[in-house]
Amino acid sequence: MKKLIALSVVALIAGLVAFYGRDALDLYRLMDHIATSSETSEADGGPWPRLTDACAGCHGRQGHSQHQQYPSLAGQPAPYLAAQLQRFASGERASPNMSPLAMTLSEADIQFLSAYFAKQPAASNGSFQPDATLQAKGEKLAANGGCAACHGEGLLGHDQYPRLAGQGHDYLLAQLNDFAQGRRQDPTGAMTAIAATLSDGDRQALAHYLAALPPAVK
């Protein structure tokens, strides 16, 4: 049956080309491309309307943020993303944007979004131009602070620990400041303790270093 259908399609295309010329073949190719792209997109992000569209305004298409102030979700560990959405929903973590949105999500929604963004490939923070002196200072601070012990090799994140490499500079700095000043807490207390030991200049340098890191091991 499949062979018969394939032969029928070939015959139909041949007939269209013979009757209408090459424009018919180009039109068929365009329609086939649109159909294939639509199927691929639906398989990746789900049918319309898409839950992921609510995230694109701040976090970018497929979780690739184009703004230093908003974090990129692409390539973040799914357990970390799920935990943060749950914390926003419960009020344990506060945000004027994220809290109301997270409260509307079911647990199935949270798991879907976490899995979706986790499987997207992370991209470099190409729009950020680090200060070389601050970047070098930040590298030493990251090494001395043992950041890799929790955030993994290359600071790419794993399990409940987020990817820091290639994140937006302004977002990273804001989170370090929030941890240092007690506005944000983490379950282990490690980030609060570490950030509290850093000066304003240290936090700025660390944010420079992390934002400039490649989001994948070379």
Q: At what angle do helices 132-144 and 200-212 cross, to 10 degrees?
A: 100
CA torsion, ordered 52, 58, 60, 66, to nearest 10 deg: -170
Q: What is the CA radius of gyration of the chain?
A: 23
Per-residue model confidence (pLDDT) at position 30: 47
Mean pLDDT, 10 residues at a time, over the chain (218 residues)? 56 62 54 44 59 92 94 97 97 93 96 96 92 97 95 95 96 97 90 94 98 82
The pLDDT score that the predictor gives to residue 93 is: 93
* Confidence (pLDDT) at 103: 96
3-state secondary structure the chain: CHHHHHHHHHHHHHHHHHHHCHHHHHHHHHHHHHHHHHHHHHHHHCCCCCCCHHHHHHHCHHHCCCCCCCCCCCCCCHHHHHHHHHHHHHCCCCCCCHHHHHHCCCHHHHHHHHHHHHCCCCCCCCCCCCCHHHHHHHHHHHHHCCHHHHHCHHHCCECCECCCCCCCHHHHHHHHHHHHCCCCCCCCCHHHHHHHCCCHHHHHHHHHHHHHCCCCCC
pTM for the model stands at 0.78
pLDDT at 188: 87
